[in-house]
Structures are given as structure tokens and as C-alpha cells.
Homo-oligomer: A and B are copies of this chain.
Amino acid sequence: MEIVRVAGWVFEKRDLGGIIFILLRDSTGIIQVTWSRKRGDKEIGRKMKKLKINDVIEVRGEVKKEEQAPNGVEIIPHTLRVLNEAEHPLPLDPTGKIDAGLETRLNLRPLDLINPKRNAIFRIKSEVLRLTREFLRDRGFLEVITPKIIATATEGGAELFPVPYFEVTAFLAQSPQLYKEELTIPFERVFEIGTYFRAEPFNTNRHLNEFVSIDIEAAFHTYEDVMKVAEELIVHVYKRLNEGMEEELKLLNLDLRIPQTPFPRVKYDEIMEKLRGIGVKIESGEDIKMEHLESLKDERTEGYYFIIDWPSKVKTFYTKDKEDREGYTNSFDLMYRELEIGSGGERIHKYNDLIKKMRKMGLSIDNFRHHLVFYKCGMPPHAGWGIGLDRLMMSILGFKNIRETVLYPRDRFRLVP
């Protein structure tokens, strides 16, 4: 006779009078606890009768085979302690039988996450983090942590959240860009997975004001080299999820097909031409919007692909211009269908070229002096990218709303819980 102690939550209860079944949930799964009038202790029966969904209990008892139980065994309780009671009605049905709207679910996120499907999303996300780090380490990338409070806007474009920092105003970082570039000097290849911030008043299904970015930067890499790192990373993640997360994927009704490499490389100009071909009014040098891509039907843009060779105008100041084509850069966006999930490219590594580009774009040299000094001290040719973790999750799991892939999203109107 095997005696066990399990603590967890009441997930379901069936009271047939003379026999009471409890499905008890903990982080390892669900187990049945069975009391019967014939053989069970009366006091335990009284307690079982009163139990409500999500009450927290501890059971000690005997494990028995029971073919009709969810995992082939049941526990016959010898003792039962109620550790905390849940007040009913619960503000959200945690079993997921009665589904609520997204707003309500996010307001009550911890309860929402009891639903096995929702729970599976974040077990997969945790695994994606692990697999990503494992892959990048194996490729010689060192994990680094760079500041999230910064003195100067790094990209010069996006709106930043200001932070009063003692006597001065600082900003919340929107990326580790300049730091990861500098760190190629001592470490050659670095990666960081961190939280970043953008102050735009977004109100879409694919933007959040706080997001997690996977960033790499690598000396002596071209943009083609780092595109390879990105596609091989994605294939690695898909393969390993299929091997280790079968149960979670099944819960989400997902059958992950390993993407084929190389991902298509489609030139910016080629996309523009096609768009104009279907009547979209768009000028060369403009950004390509999601709405534009939605109307493009093309086998090359069905899954993951890169849009490469963007005009200098729409890319950041540190992006390297093409040697053989003026006004264009060695850059790319990583796409999944119409969704941009990352971007990157080769960076300028020579001091004079960078100063020239910054002047042309009207940026203050003085604001960047702490960074620019390193371009005179051995800055290597380098390339890198940033991939939005939450958007990568959208692409893997097939979600249209980024909020489904984030525990506690932050947007224009959401700051709690």
C-alpha cells in the first residue's frame, strides 16, 4: 500500500451521495480523490461534501489503481485538510468551461491560467526561452544584461518613456542596441533576452508598451550570417517543442510543422513592385505596412520569410548602406505572414561613416559621445537582430492577439493587474 501526500486545488467535484469524487490539480497534473460512504471516514466525507472549486486542500491517503480515473489511479483519503477556501461564485470559471472575454480574463489572469489551454501557452513560452538560450550559447553567444534606464534615446525615432532620475531625465530603453554593439569588442558574440519599453499610444493586437526582445549581435558576421542564425534558431525551437511539449501542443490543437530553411529572402523593391501591381498606392522609401502585406498572396510569404535590402530612409542610423547600391541597406525584417517578428542587419563599424550618417539624419553627435568613442578603439564589422519574443510566440502558436502570449500585458489602457 502506497501512502502519498498531495496538496493542490479542487478542479472538479462530483457528489453522488454515497460516493464523492474530487479532481485535484497541482503543477504535475490532475489526480482523482475518491471517498465512499461504505469504507470512508465520516468526517472526511463531511469535508469533501463542502468542498468548492479552487479550494486549496491537502490529502494524505492510499494510492489505488482505478481504470476509470483520469490517469489510471485514485487516492483514498486518510486525512484531508482545507488550507484555504475559495469564495463562490468565483469571478472567472477556472476550468474554462464557461469562457470569458479577453478583458475579463486579463483582469483575473491567475485564474484564467488555471484553464489547461492557457496554462500550456506559458509552459511552452518558458521552454522557448530555454531552447533559445541553449541554441545561442551553443553558437558561441555570451548572455549579457544591459541597462534598462538609459541617458539617450538609442534609435532616435520611437517615442520613449521618460524617467526622472535624480537631477536629470532618463529614458526606458527600447532595445539593448548600442550596448550589444559595444560588447562585440570584448565578447565577439553576445545575446540578451530582456524587457523593453515603447511609449507610442498603441491600440492594436500586435503592439504592447512593454515587451520582451531576444537580441543578438555578432562580430565578423554579415546580414546573411545573422539571418541564418535566426532561421536556424526558429527551426531548433520548432523541432524541440515537437519533441518535448507534445502534451501542451495537443491541448492547443497544434501540429507544428518544421519550417523549411533557407526562409525565402524577398527584396523590399520586389514587394513594392508587387504591391503597386495590385493597385496599392505606395512610394519607394515608405515603410511596408501590415495591411499592405495582408493583401499580397504569394507562396513565399506564407510562413516565415525575410524582407531584405531596405531603403536607408526607413532604417536606423547605425544600419550599413549597401556598397553596390546607394540609398539601400544590408538589412532585413523577419516576417511571419504579414506580421513583423524581428529586424536586423549589418551595422556601420567605421567612425567616419557613422558620423556622416548621423549628421545626415540630424542626430546629435554629442548625445552619443559615450558610445562613439568605441568606434575609434577597435569596433569590428558586425551584424545582429532583435526578435520580439511575444510575437515569435504568436507565430508559433497561431495567435492573432499578442496579449494571449503575455502574462500581464501593458498597453495604452492596461496597467493592471
Contacts and interface: CB of A to CB of B under 8 A. Distances in A.
A376 B87 contact: yes
A129 B148 contact: no
Contacts of A385: none
A264 interface: no
A166 B150 CA distance: 20
Contact of A110 (B84, B183, B209): B183
Contacts of A83: 220, 349, 380-381
Given A7-B219, A119-B186, A145-B407, A377 B195 contact: no
Interface string A184-223: 0111110000110100010000000110100000011000
Interface string A344-371: 0000011000000000000000000011
Each complex incorporates copies of this chain amounting to: 2
A188 to B, nearest CB: 4
Interface stretch (A72-80, A97-105, A156-164, A305-313): A156-164
Interface string A42-84: 0000000000001110100000000000000000000000011
Given A137-B130, A349-B84, A210 B415 contact: no
A408 B179 contact: yes
A378 B188 contact: no
Nearest to A381: B83
Contacts of A111: 185-186, 374, 377
Contact of A147 (B113, B147, B210): B210
A302 interface: no
A404 to B, nearest CB: 14
Interface residues of A, number: 91
Contact of A373 (B55, B91, B123, B170): B91
Of A133, A381, A417, most buried by chain B (CB within 10 Å of CB) is A417
Contacts of A381: 56, 83-84
Interface of A: 7-9, 26-28, 54-56, 58, 83-84, 86-87, 90-91, 94, 107-111, 113-114, 118-119, 122-123, 126, 129-130, 133, 137, 140, 142-152, 161-166, 168, 170, 172, 179, 182-183, 185-189, 194-195, 197, 201, 209-210, 212, 219-220, 349-350, 370-371, 373-374, 376-381, 406-408, 410, 412, 415-417
- Leading 7 A-B pairs by shortest Cβ distance: A113-B186, A54-B378, A27-B188, A370-B417, A87-B376, A110-B182, A126-B143
